[in-house]
C-alpha cells in the first residue's frame, strides 16, 4: 500500500539513535506495567499441512458444501465455495468459504466454519441473511464501466487507464445486499505504480458503493541488511537467484521492462551498494526468505497462499520509482529503486509488510477500504515488525518503527511509530492513536494506526519501555496502564484472529471480537492474557476495559423524555464463569433495572438531572460500579420530544415513534416539527410525519442541499388527524447514486402543538 514520502535522503540513522520522547512532549505517563506471563494451550497450535493434505481438506469441504450450507441456514440460491483451510492440534478444522447467489459472487458474504471435537460454529461476515436481492440490472455493463472509468481517472492523479473488466456481483459488504457491477479498471498511477481499481456500482441506481485497489504498494524506504545467506540454484556454470527450499521463489530484474532472472557465476551476489544491480536483488530475496521462514516456523504456513508455491520478487521497477507493491494476481512483490535510483525499497520489514498483504488476501481477504482497509494495512505492519524481530538482524535492529533507518522525508523521523502512531504526522495526514467515528473515512495508512497501537500495547504494554536500545512511551485513551503479553503471544493472537475469525469486512469492533476469540482459544477466557487483549483494545477506545474482571460498555446515558418509553440495556461480561447480576440507584422516576439482564425499562414521569450508579456483580462476588448523569427532558403539554438516536441506513427508511397524550381533539393546522439530523447529504433525506392511522404528511422533500447537518423547525397541517396517539417521524435516504455517503442519523425530534 502507499506510504507517502516527500523526499529521499542519504543519511542513515542507527536505531539506537532515535531519540526518546522529550520531557516537553506532553504530560508524564504512568510507568509501564509488567509483562504478563501467558502460556498458550497446545491444542490451539496450528498443524502444518502438506499441499496434498490441504488439497484433500478443501476437496472434502467442497463435497460437503451443500450439507454445510443447509446446516448454516443458507437459502436455496446460495452456494458455498471453499477458499482456505487450517487445522488445530486438537483436530478442529477451520474452513473459510466464499458464497455465490444464483451463480453471482457475493462480496462480503464470506464465512468460516469451525468443526472440531468441542466446537461446531460459524463466524459470519457482516451479513448472514442475504434476503432475496434482484439479479436484474437496470444499469448496463457499459454504463457502469464508463462511470467506473471516470471515477478511476479522478483517483489515479494524472495516471492512465488501460482497460475495464466488469462482472455482476451481489454487494453484501455494507447495507442491504444488492446487485452491483464490479468494474476492475486497470491502469497506471501518476508515480508509475500499476493500478487495478475495483469500482462497485449499484446495478439499480448507478451509485458508487465502494472502491479499492488490488495493487497494494508500500513506503519509500531503502535499506540493506548487510551480509546474508541466500538459497540459490546452480544451472550449468552459473547460479540462479531461485530458492528451491521455499517453493521456487525467484528474483527478477525488470529494469529494462522485461523480467530477467538474476544469475551469477560464483554465487556471490551484490556489494552492498546501489551501484551493483544485484544488491537490491539480495535484499529482496532475503526478505522473501525470512518472511517464508517466519510464517512456516511460527505457524506451519507453507508459503504466502499456504500451498507450497513461492512468490516472485521483481527489482529495479520504473525510473526513480519510490515505492514497492504486492500484486496478488501475479503473486509477486515489486520494488522500485527510490528517489534518484539510489535507495532500493528492499528493507526487510517492507518486504514482509507487502508479502503479508498476500497472506491477508488468501485468508480474511480484508477489503482495502473503510476500517477493514485499516486492518489490512495494520496486519502488514504488525507481521512486518514480527518478521523483523524473527530475523533479529545485527544491522536492522528489531523495533516497533517502520522506516526507522532511512530519513525518507528529510525529517529525521521514522515513517510509522507503533507505540504512538500520531508521531508520524506528515503533509499527507496523521495516523490515529485511537479509534473515532471518523476512522472508517480515513485512508487505510492512517486508520491502521488504531490496529498498530493496539498491537504494540498488547505486546509491550503502556508507559515507558526500552526495547533493543530504543525507548518507547505509549499512551492510552483512558490514561490507565495496560500490561503486555509479549511479542510472541501477541503475534499468535493476531495471526489466529486473521486466519480463523476475521472476514472481508471486519471492522475494529469485529477485530476486538476476533482477537478475544483467538485469546480464548490460546489462553482461556479466565486468563490474564484474555483480559489483556480486551484492555489493549479499550486503550485505543475500542470496547470496554476489564476492571475487577468485569467489562461494561458505556452506560446508556443519552437523554430520555417524560412520557416516552425507555428500553436500554447495560451490556457487561466477566472472565469469571457464571451469571452476572445488575442493580442501580438513582434511576429516573418511573424506570427500573432487570437484575438478570441489565435492561432499564419503563416510562419516565418526572423531568430533571439524575445521578445514576449501576452495579454489576459476577459469580465471584466481585463488583463493578459505574456512575453517570442522566437527563430526563420535559415532554408533554404543548411540547413532546423523542431524544433517541436512530441510524439511517443508506437508501432505506428509519422510523422514530413519539407518544402524545393529554391533548383534546384534532392536531393543529400549524403543528411544529423540529428535527435534528446529521448526514453527508442532507438534501437527499426525505422526512415525513406519519400518524397512528398511517397517514403521511410531508415535512421535508428532496432538495439539492449538500449540507451535513439539519437543525430546523417545519410547519405541517395536521388538522385532519387526532392529536393523541403515536406519531412517527419517517426519514428515507434518497441520496443520488452519484454520491457515496456514510450512513447518517436522526439525532432527535419533537412536536409542538
pLDDT band at residue 210 using 50, 70 and 90 as cut-offs? confident
d(CA 375, CA 382): 10
- What's the pLDDT score for residue 405? 61
**What nine digits make up the cell of 86?**
487450517
Q: Enter the DSSP assignment of 273.
A: S
State yes or no: pLDDT of 337 exceeds 60.
yes
pLDDT band at residue 7 using 50, 70 and 90 as cut-offs? very low
140 vs 2, residue with greater confidence: 140
**What nine digits make up the cell of 297?**
516456523
Q: What is the pLDDT of residues 576-586, one digit of tens each?
A: 999 999 999 99
Angle value at C-alpha 131, between 125 and 133, nearest 5 degrees: 105
**What nine digits make up the cell of 459?**
505486546
Residue whose C-alpha is closest to residue 185's, from 218, 216, 212: 212
405 vs 124, residue with greater confidence: 124
- What's the pLDDT score for residue 414? 77
Q: What is the pLDDT of residues 723-753, one digit of tens each?
A: 999 999 999 999 886 666 778 999 999 999 9
Q: Which of 138-147, 148-157, 246-255, 627-636 has the lowest mean pLDDT?
A: 148-157
E-strand spans in 618-724? 623-633, 639-642, 646-648, 653-660, 671-678, 685-690, 696-700, 709-716
d(CA 750, CA 716): 13
Q: Which positions ≥6 away from 309 have C-beta within 8 Å?
A: 247, 248, 303, 331
- What's the pLDDT score for residue 30? 59
- What's the pLDDT score for residue 407? 46
354 catalytic? Reply is yes
**What nine digits make up the cell of 463?**
508507559
State yes or no: pLDDT of 187 exceeds 80.
yes
387 vs 75, residue with greater confidence: 387
Fold annotation for 148-214: Nuclear Transport Factor 2; Chain: A, (3.10.450)
**What nine digits make up the cell of 186?**
486497470
User: HSE-up of 226 (CA within 13 Å, CB side)?
Assistant: 7
d(CA 148, CA 195): 13
State yes or no: pLDDT of 155 exceeds 90.
no
- Tell me the chain's radius of gyration from C-alpha atoms: 28
- Residue where the block lists cell 453527508: 680
The length of the chain is 753
pLDDT band at residue 344 using 50, 70 and 90 as cut-offs? confident
The dihedrals phi and psi of 400, each to the nearest 5 degrees, come to -105, 40
164 vs 383, residue with greater confidence: 383
Share of the chain above pLDDT 70, in %: 91
Whether the predicted model's global pTM rises above the 0.95 cut: no
- What's the pLDDT score for residue 148? 84
User: HSE-up of 264 (CA within 13 Å, CB side)?
Assistant: 21
- What's the pLDDT score for residue 147? 85
pLDDT (average), residues 643-654: 91
Domain residue ranges of the chain, discontinuous segments joined by +: 43-124, 148-214, 550-633, 639-752
Residue whose C-alpha is closest to residue 475's, from 31, 16, 8, 19: 31
pLDDT band at residue 159 using 50, 70 and 90 as cut-offs? low
pLDDT band at residue 447 using 50, 70 and 90 as cut-offs? very high
pLDDT (average), residues 224-245: 83
State yes or no: pLDDT of 643 exceeds 90.
yes
pLDDT (average), residues 354-380: 95
pLDDT band at residue 15 using 50, 70 and 90 as cut-offs? very low
pLDDT (average), residues 96-100: 93
CATH class of the domain at 550-633: mainly beta
- What's the pLDDT score for residue 684? 92
- What's the pLDDT score for residue 221? 30
pLDDT (average), residues 209-225: 59
152 vs 497, residue with greater confidence: 497
State yes or no: pLDDT of 661 exceeds 90.
yes
Q: How many helices (H) and strands (E) does the chain have?
A: 10, 41
pLDDT band at residue 206 using 50, 70 and 90 as cut-offs? confident
DSSP states along 356-381 = HHHHHHTTT---SSHHHHHHHHHHHH
Edge-to-edge strand ranges of the sheet holding 233-235: 233-235, 238-240, 263-264
Fold annotation for 639-752: Jelly Rolls (2.60.120)
Q: Which of 37-41, 380-384, 463-467 has the lowest mean pLDDT?
A: 37-41
pLDDT (average), residues 448-457: 98
State yes or no: pLDDT of 535 exceeds 70.
yes
d(CA 131, CA 134): 10
- What's the pLDDT score for residue 536? 98
pLDDT band at residue 356 using 50, 70 and 90 as cut-offs? very high
State yes or no: pLDDT of 6 exceeds 50.
no
- Best-predicted range by mean pLDDT among 2-11, 231-240, 538-547? 538-547
**CATH code at 43-124:** 3.10.450.490
- What's the pLDDT score for residue 212? 81
- What's the pLDDT score for residue 664? 92
pLDDT (average), residues 88-110: 92
State yes or no: pLDDT of 483 exceeds 70.
yes
405 vs 632, residue with greater confidence: 632
- What's the pLDDT score for residue 5? 29
Judged on CB neighbours under 10 Å (0-12, 13-18, 19+), 690 is middle
- 148-214 and 639-752: identical CATH topology: no
- What's the pLDDT score for residue 14? 23
**What nine digits make up the cell of 335?**
520494488
CA dihedral 401, 402, 407, 409 (to 10 degrees): -120
State yes or no: pLDDT of 41 exceeds 50.
yes
Q: How far is CA 497 from CA 41, 112, 162, 375, 512, in A?
A: 15, 11, 38, 12, 9
- What's the pLDDT score for residue 409? 53
pLDDT (average), residues 555-574: 94
**What nine digits make up the cell of 129?**
441473511
Q: Enter the DSSP assignment of 722.
A: B
State yes or no: pLDDT of 247 exceeds 60.
yes
94 catalytic? Reply is no
Q: How far is CA 666 from CA 101, 500, 696, 718, in A?
A: 51, 60, 16, 8
Q: How many other CB atoms are there within 10 angstroms of residue 484's CB atom?
A: 25
Q: Pick the catalytic residue: 445, 460, 679, 688? A: 445
E-strand spans in 10-150? 78-87, 93-101, 104-115, 120-124
pLDDT (average), residues 501-516: 97
199 three-state secondary structure: strand
Cβ-contact 90, 117 below 8 angstroms: yes
CA dihedral 291, 297, 302, 303 (to 10 degrees): 0
Please give the mean pLDDT across all residues of the chain.
88
**What nine digits make up the cell of 65?**
458444501
pLDDT (average), residues 626-643: 96
- What's the pLDDT score for residue 8? 24
- What's the pLDDT score for residue 132? 85
Q: Pick the catalytic residue: 354, 377, 404, 688? A: 354
d(CA 480, CA 538): 10
- What's the pLDDT score for residue 738? 61
Categorise residue 744: left if φ over 0, alpha if ψ from -120 to 50, beta otherwise.
beta
d(CA 376, CA 4): 17
Amino acid at each position: 500500500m502507499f506510504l507517502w514520502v516527500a523526499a529521499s535522503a542519504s543519511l542513515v540513522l542507527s536505531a539506537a539513535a532515535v531519540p526518546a520522547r522529550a520531557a516537553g512532549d506532553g504530560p508524564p505517563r504512568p510507568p509501564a506495567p509488567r509483562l504478563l506471563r501467558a502460556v498458550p494451550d497446545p491444542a490451539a497450535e496450528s498443524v502444518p499441512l502438506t499441499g496434498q493434505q490441504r488439497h484433500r481438506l478443501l476437496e472434502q469441504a467442497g463435497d460437503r458444501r451443500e450439507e454445510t450450507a443447509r446446516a448454516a441456514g443458507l437459502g436455496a440460491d446460495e452456494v458455498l465455495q471453499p477458499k482456505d483451510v487450517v487445522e488445530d492440534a486438537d483436530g478442529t478444522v477451520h474452513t473459510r468459504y466464499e458464497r455465490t447467489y444464483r451463480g453471482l459472487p457475493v462480496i462480503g458474504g464470506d464465512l468460516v466454519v469451525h468443526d472440531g471435537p468441542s466446537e461446531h460454529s460459524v463466524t459470519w461476515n457482516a451479513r448472514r441473511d442475504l434476503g432475496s436481492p434482484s439479479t436484474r440490472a437496470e444499469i448496463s455493463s457499459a454504463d457502469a464501466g464508463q462511470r467506473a472509468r471516470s471515477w478511476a481517472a479522478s483517483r489515479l492523479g494524472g495516471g492512465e487507464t488501460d482497460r475495464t473488466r466488469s462482472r455482476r456481483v451481489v454487494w453484501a459488504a455494507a447495507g442491504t445486499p444488492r446487485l452491483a457491477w464490479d468494474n476492475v479498471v486497470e491502469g497506471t498511477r501518476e508515480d508509475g505504480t500499476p493500478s487495478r481499481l475495483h469500482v462497485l456500482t449499484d446495478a439499480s441506481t448507478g451509485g458508487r458503493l465502494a472502491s479499492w485497489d488490488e495493487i497494494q504498494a508500500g513506503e519509500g524506504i531503502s535499506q540493506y541488511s548487510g551480509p546474508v545467506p541466500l538459497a540459490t540454484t546452480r544451472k550449468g556454470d552459473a547460479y540462479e537467484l531461485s530458492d528451491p527450499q521455499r517453493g521456487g521463489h525467484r528474483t527478477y530484474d525488470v529494469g529494462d521492462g522485461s523480467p530477467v532472472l538474476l544469475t551469477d557465476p560464483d554465487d556471490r551476489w551484490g556489494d552492498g551498494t546501489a551501484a551493483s544491480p544485484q544488491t537490491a536483488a539480495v535484499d529482496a530475496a532475503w526478505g522473501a526468505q525470512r518472511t517464508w521462514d517466519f510464517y512456516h516456523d511460527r505457524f506451519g504456513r507453507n508459503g504466502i497462499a499456504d500451498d507450497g508455491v513461492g512468490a516472485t520478487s521483481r527489482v529495479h521497477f520504473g525510473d526513480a520509482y519510490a515505492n514497492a507493491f504486492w500484486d496478488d494476481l501475479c503473486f509477486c512483490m515489486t520494488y522500485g529503486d527510490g528517489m534518484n535510483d539510489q535507495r532500493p525499497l528492499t528493507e526487510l520489514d517492507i518486504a514482509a509488510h507487502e508479502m503479508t498483504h498476500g497472506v491477508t488476501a488468501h485468508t480474511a481477504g480484508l477489503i482495502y477500504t473503510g476500517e477493514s482497509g485499516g486492518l489490512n494495512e495494520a496486519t502488514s505492519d504488525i507481521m512486518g515488525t514480527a518478521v523483523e524481530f524473527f530475523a533479529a538482524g545485527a544491522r536492522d535492529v528489531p523495533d516497533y518503527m517502520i522506516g526507522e533507518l532511512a530519513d525518507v522525508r528529510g525529517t529525521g523521523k521514522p515513517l510509522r511509530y507503533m507505540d504512538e502512531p500520531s508521531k508520524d504526522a506528515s503533509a499527507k495526514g496523521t495516523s490515529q492513536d485511537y479509534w473515532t467515528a471518523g476512522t472508517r473515512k480515513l485512508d487505510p495508512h492512517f486508520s491502521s494506526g488504531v490496529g498498530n497501537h493496539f498491537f504494540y500495547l498488547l505486546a509491550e504494554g503502556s508507559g515507558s519501555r526500552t526495547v533493543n536500545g530504543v525507548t518507547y512511551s505509549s499512551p492510552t485513551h483512558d490514561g490507565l496502564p495496560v500490561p503486555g503479553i509479549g511479542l510472541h503471544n501477541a503475534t499468535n493472537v493476531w495471526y489466529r484472529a486473521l486466519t480463523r475469525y476475521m472476514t472481508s469486512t471486519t471492522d475494529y469492533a469485529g477485530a476486538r471480537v476476533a482477537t478475544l476469540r483467538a485469546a480464548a482459544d490460546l489462553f482461556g477466557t479466565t486468563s490474564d492474557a484474555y483480559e489483556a487483549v480486551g484492555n489493549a483494545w479499550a486503550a485505543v477506545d475500542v470496547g470496554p476495559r476489564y476492571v475487577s474482571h468485569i467489562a461494561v460498555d458505556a452506560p446508556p446515558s443519552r437523554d430520555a423524555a417524560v412520557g416516552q418509553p425507555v428500553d436500554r440495556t447495560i451490556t457487561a461480561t466477566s472472565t469469571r464463569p457464571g451469571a452476572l447480576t445488575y442493580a442501580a440507584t438513582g434511576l429516573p422516576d418511573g424506570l427500573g433495572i432487570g437484575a438478570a439482564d441489565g435492561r432499564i425499562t419503563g416510562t419516565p414521569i418526572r423531568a430533571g438531572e439524575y445521578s445514576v450508579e449501576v452495579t454489576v456483580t459476577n459469580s465471584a462476588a466481585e463488583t463493578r460500579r459505574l456512575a453517570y448523569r442522566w437527563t430526563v427532558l420535559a415532554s408533554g403539554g404543548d411540547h413532546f420530544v423523542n431524544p433517541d438516536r436512530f441510524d439511517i441506513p443508506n437508501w432505506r427508511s428509519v422510523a422514530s415513534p413519539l407518544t402524545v397524550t393529554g391533548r383534546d381533539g384534532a392536531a393543529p393546522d400549524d403543528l411544529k416539527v423540529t428535527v435534528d439530523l446529521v448526514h453527508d447529504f442532507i438534501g437527499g433525506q426525505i422526512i415525513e410525519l406519519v400518524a397512528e392511522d398511517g397517514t403521511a404528511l410531508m415535512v421535508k422533500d428532496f432538495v439539492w442541499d449538500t449540507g451535513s447537518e439539519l437543525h430546523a423547525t417545519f410547519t405541517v397541517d395536521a388538522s385532519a388527524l387526532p392529536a393523541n396517539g403515536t406519531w412517527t417521524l419517517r426519514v428515507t435516504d434518497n441520496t443520488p447514486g452519484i454520491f457515496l455517503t456514510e450512513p447518517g442519523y436522526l439525532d432527535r425530534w419533537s412536536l409542538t402543538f
